[in-house]
Structure 1
Amino acid sequence: MKQLAIIDDDPEILKLLDQYLTKNSFEVDAFTDGESFLKEGESKYSLIILDIGLPGIDGLEVCKRVRQNSNIPIIMLTAASDDLDRILGLELGSDDYMGKPFNPRELLARIKALLRRSEIKEEDVDNNIVMNYAARSAFIDGKELELTGTEFDLLCVFHKQIGKVLSRDEIGELLHGRRVDPLDRSIDTIVSRLRHKLSSHFDGEIIQSVRGKGYVLLMKN
């Protein structure tokens, strides 16, 4: 049984998610603040559901600290209008986000999607990047890339379709199972983050923007 950590200071949300996720065969530990979760540690959990607006240490800081040690999947809960917080969360390494109020069934679907991607068992090699899907790791010239869960998933999306231009909607479907809102810049943020991490290993950018169409991964010999 997969064990999830929920960090939120709203007792009603904690109660709702505890009951709903337990009913759907997950084991749940609830925390009302970031400090108590960080003291417990993330090692025993398969996924974290993390509210941004926590008392004391906020969710962004919790995400940052977790990412120093782990690539565990993180879903952040944000106020529906907090675009800046959502983008900051993605930049700090969260894998997905949901605005409050949210539908528990949609959250469950996103949890399952993230967990499925983390369990893919396959290995793929080309002359530049070695992808180990079972270990959720990628290597260039024998050196492991330091990627968050979403960055790894995005690299998988590009790597499986090298040379093909992917629109933001296509990336959203492949990455999160949904199309993106035209004003939602989260896909661009994640692409930029991954491109920055790859840039030091290649001469020039291998993830290129195609005006009006999307992004393409161009592997180099």
Structure 2
Amino acid sequence: MVNVLMIEDDPDFAQLLTEYLAQFNVKVSNFEDPCEVLNLRFEDYDCLILDLTLSKVDGLEICREIRQKSDVPIIISSARGDLSDKVIGLQIGADDYLPKPYDPKEMYARIMSLHRRYKKGHESHMITNLSSAFSIDERRHEISYNEQVLTLTPAEYEILNHLIRQHGFSVSREELVKNCKSLKDKDSKSLDVIIGRLRLKIGDNSKSPKHIFSVRGIGYKLIG
């Protein structure tokens, strides 16, 4: 399913487009108030359809603010015919501009075109070792274990990220701490606590580990 976020203050128009796209397994979540959108996780959506003529704020300002927070693909949808709106919208980060009125078929085609391009670019940001159970999604700042996304603190993410990048090699405690900017307490005890939490989250046993091994006198090594 393709998840689309929409900011459109015409409820009838939003419902019409939502019902049409639902035929093609495209789910639309519409918000009439753009202020409700700014704190959402844009990573949960494949595309944003943004109207420019909103009652409370200019859509171009919303476009600019969202682009500062996320690289989610943005399609501007507007009845405003001024060429400068299109030029500014594309300059501040919109990926496409579709003037109203339009045929819903064209919007569907543009959504899918953007989705394919974004997905292709997104895959280039995936770091996956085919022989490993772990993969890193840099764009989403996520790590998966056996294709399941792990819930990690910033420090856990940074430590595991570095171990994955050094897959199969021993990494010193000093190097791990140095590469963990989120560690407030830069001592070995903090590192041990984080390693312990990571082992719990992947079902690893410190006495008989499958993945995170302690290397005496050095640090840790990730395999598998």
Q: TM-score range by the shorter chain?
A: 0.5 to 0.7
> How far has the Cα of 1:34 moved from its partner?
1.1
- For the Cα contact (< 8 Å) 1:80–1:101, is it kept in 2? no
Q: What residue is the counterpart of 2:49 in the other structure?
A: 49
Q: What residue is the counterpart of 1:70 in the other structure?
A: 70
Amino acid corresponding to residue 71 of structure 2 in structure 1: N
Q: What is the CA–CA distance in structure 2 between the aligned matches of 1:98 and 1:8, rounded to whole Å?
A: 14
Structure 2, unpaired ranges of 5+ = 127-224
Structure 1, unpaired ranges of 5+ = 122-131, 137-221
- For the Cα contact (< 8 Å) 2:73–2:114, is it kept in 1? yes
> How far has the Cα of 1:40 moved from its partner?
2.9
Q: What is the CA–CA distance in structure 1 between the aligned matches of 2:12 and 2:36, rounded to whole Å?
A: 19
**1:92-132 residue CA offsets vs partner (Å, 9 max, x unmatched):** 100001111011001100111001111226xxxxxxxxxx8
RMSD of aligned C-alpha atoms?
Answer: 1.8
- For the Cα contact (< 8 Å) 1:8–1:54, is it kept in 2? yes
> How far has the Cα of 1:83 moved from its partner?
1.1
Identity %: 38
> How far has the Cα of 1:47 moved from its partner?
0.3
> How far has the Cα of 1:134 moved from its partner?
1.9
Q: What residue is the counterpart of 2:86 in the other structure?
A: 86
> How far has the Cα of 1:43 moved from its partner?
2.7
Q: What residue is the counterpart of 1:112 in the other structure?
A: 112
Largest Rg, 1 or 2: 2
Q: What residue is the counterpart of 1:134 in the other structure?
A: 124
Amino acid corresponding to residue 92 of structure 2 in structure 1: L
Query: Tell me, what secondary structure is at the counterpart of 2:69?
Result: coil
- For the Cα contact (< 8 Å) 2:52–2:80, is it kept in 1? no
The aligned length equals: 126
> How far has the Cα of 1:2 moved from its partner?
1.8
Q: What is the CA–CA distance in structure 2 between the aligned matches of 1:80 and 1:100, rounded to whole Å?
A: 8
Q: What residue is the counterpart of 1:30 in the other structure?
A: 30
TM-score using structure 1 length = 0.53
Please give the residue correspondences for 1:1-221 in structure 2 after superposition, counting only pairs within 5 Å.
1-79=1-79, 81-120=81-120, 134-135=124-125
> How far has the Cα of 1:80 moved from its partner?
5.3
- For the Cα contact (< 8 Å) 1:7–1:31, is it kept in 2? yes
With a CA cutoff of 8 Å and minimum separation of 6, indicate the structure with the bigger relative contact order. 1
Amino acid corresponding to residue 76 of structure 1 in structure 2: I
**1:122-169 residue CA offsets vs partner (Å, 9 max, x unmatched):** xxxxxxxxxx86229xxxxxxxxxxxxxxxxxxxxxxxxxxxxxxxxx
Please identify, of 44-53 and 20-29, the stretch whose mean Cα deviation from structure 2 is larger. Answer: 20-29
- For the Cα contact (< 8 Å) 2:7–2:51, is it kept in 1? yes
Query: Tell me, what secondary structure is at the counterpart of 2:54?
Result: coil
